[in-house]
Amino acid sequence: MTEELLSLPVPNVEPSDKGVAWLRSKVVRFSNGPDHTRRRALTTKLLDTVNATTLDELATKLGLPGSLPDIATIAPSYQPHEQITAAADAAVERLATDKSEETAARIGLLVQAWAATNALAEHLRTGNPAPPVPITRRVTTSGVVEVSLNDHPFGHGPHACPGRQLATRIAKNMAFHALHHQQEPLILPNAWDYASAAALAQHFRAVGTTSLGVAAAAGIPDGAGLARKQATALAELLRDLPCPVTVDLESGFSEDHDEVAELVAQLGVAGVNLEDGRPHGLADPAVQARLISKVKERAPGVFLNARVDTHWQGIALEETLDRAKRYVAAGADGIFVPGVTEPGDVEKLAHLAPLNVLAQNRTPKELANLGVKRISTGSLLFRAALHHTVTTAKAVRDGASPQAFSYAEVQDLINPGTRSSAG
């Protein structure tokens, strides 16, 4: 019954030349027949070349820069069963410089993206598995019909917005940023392949990757800038997981800042780690700051975690602080100082930006009291898995019966159900 209702045609709304009523009468969402076919093709064409990481960026690329306040005003009046307000009508008139179907498509895309991304981002932030929009209302000849979406993926249906995949990506970016601005730290486990990430995604709000695990699994040394192919291939697999994903890109796998920025923009993940460590020392902080600035300019919605490798090399806190300040000023969304454990040092760094530290001999609550916003496992899980692999093999050799996931449980991790239903 639910599937049938979801497939109901949407009756054409009344023609109009003003405000929200005009918008409804011109968008693909509330069209049928030849109008729907033509408008869907137009909407799809508008999105074909759009690669946005934030709603602001999407608005600009759709030719409506700075329009989000008006879009937010229109959204509550957009659906045919909602009352149109004078403020919403005025907002449409401000944005509709002409009354073409293309203009309507641009506005309609933003209205639907605004509503969808905000709702989905909040569910991702809180770990709520329910659909971000629990019901859909369809206007039929017999009145308004409410249809439950509990058994249907986000973006389902013949009138689903063609931009649902882009909206999902932006929502993940929004949620991942929000997870760094809560009272409790984000616990971020780091995976090294699809199966480990899919298993972790069932229990955590977000998942990262470990450069050591990714490189070592391919027989490549970590930190040498040689695992670009492996890191990017894994990112492409993980971006459709039903939670935000952040990827360790070492130092970016290139000295060309534009190339690194383009790589980050095209990966489709919610976050990246970029470190200032190099195979033979540390990068010039001014050069690293320019790299960060370039990446944030190209992909503003991707959470850039600037890793400062001074503690690994025994360098004094003053230089760590100086580098962190430079990177934050350049646009970094957070800083990561692996190796820092002294409480006073942690507190000083935590004042600069959301601070990421490695898991250590302090509870998440204790680290939260020092100002920490993110706790990563780094390569720990990969190293533990290697250790457990050898231990398990020895146990088999010695006649024991070790515990492990079942064959069926691993198969379930790989089936399409572990991927984002929106994509």
Q: What does the block give as tokens for 235?
A: 């990112």
pLDDT for residue 49: 83
Whether residue 368 contacts residue 184, with contact meaning beta carbons closer than 8 Å, is answered with yes
pLDDT for residue 136: 57
pLDDT for residue 421: 44
In terms of CATH architecture, what is 179-386? Alpha-Beta Barrel (3.20)
Residues 65-94 pLDDT 10s: 999 999 999 999 998 878 999 999 999 999
**Closest to 252 in 3D by CA, of 216, 283, 297:** 283
Q: Domain limits of the chain?
A: 2-171, 179-386
Residue with tokens 């206007």: 139
pLDDT for residue 150: 59
Better-predicted residue by pLDDT, 398 or 312: 398
pLDDT for residue 1: 34
Q: How many helices (H) and strands (E) does the chain have?
A: 18, 13
Percent residues over pLDDT 90 in the chain: 73
Pick from 115-124, 316-325, 359-368: least confident: 115-124
Better-predicted residue by pLDDT, 73 or 280: 73
Long-range pairs, 349-357, Cβ under 8 A, ≥24: 349/320, 349/321, 349/324, 352/321, 352/324, 352/325, 352/328, 353/324, 353/328, 354/180, 354/181, 356/188, 356/305
Would you place residue 170 in the very low, low, confident or very high pLDDT band (cuts 50, 70, 90)? very high
Whether 159 has a pLDDT exceeding 80, the answer reads: no
* Model pTM score: 0.89
Whether 47 has a pLDDT exceeding 70, the answer reads: yes
**Closest to 217 in 3D by CA, of 204, 201, 234, 203:** 234
Residues 2-171: name the CATH superfamily: Cytochrome P450 (1.10.630.10)
Q: Mean pLDDT over residues 100-110, rounded?
A: 95
